């Protein structure tokens, strides 16, 4: 039996490496069953330069960058009801959680939070997912297929 969750988390790790963010590289994979629907990583919108003055200034970066989960949802270009979202290296922030819920994604697989900076947002994420009936699965941070 294949452990698809581990395989898709491993894919999210690979996708995260495509991000040019010097501090945190996040990758996201959306699946339906065992098929990949979309991929996303945190970065600037298409056509916007990933210049050091944007990426190295946290205040500017937070105003201009698109999170991996949102990039994957936007890139899908199709109905995502019933899909699963895999995210590395931590769970979606609360704003992304709201977008995930609205997109109809029913299951999110991620790894434990290790970022104290995002802890409050992750608490809201957990609450939002619970209330909306989105299954949140927190896996071992070292997935092996």
Distances 86 to 11, 97, 103, 121 between C-alpha atoms, Å = 9, 12, 14, 18
Which residue is listed with tokens 């609360």? 94
- Residue 78 tokens read as 């199709």
Say if residues 26 and 87 touch (Cβ distance below 8 Å): yes
Give the span between the Cα atoms of 16 and 1, in whole angstroms.
26
Catalytic residue among 10, 59, 69, 131: 69
Q: Reply yes or no on whether 116 is catalytic.
A: no
Active-site positions? 69
């Amino acid at each position: 039996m294949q452990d698809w969750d581990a395989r898709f988390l491993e894919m999210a790790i690979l996708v995260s490496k495509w991000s040019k963010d010097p501090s945190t590289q996040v990758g996201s994979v959306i699946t339906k069953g065992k098929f990949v629907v979309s991929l996303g990583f945190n970065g600037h919108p298409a056509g916007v330069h990933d210049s050091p003055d944007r990426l190295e200034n946290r205040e500017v970066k937070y105003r201009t960058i698109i999170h991996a989960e949102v990039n994957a949802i936007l890139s899908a270009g199709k109905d995502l009801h019933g899909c699963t979202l895999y995210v590395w290296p931590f769970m979606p922030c609360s704003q992304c959680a709201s977008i995930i819920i609205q997109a109809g994604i029913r299951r999110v697989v991620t790894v434990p939070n290790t970022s104290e900076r995002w802890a409050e947002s992750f608490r809201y994420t957990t609450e939002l997912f619970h209330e909306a009936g989105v299954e949140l699965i927190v896996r071992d941070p070292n997935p092996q297929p």
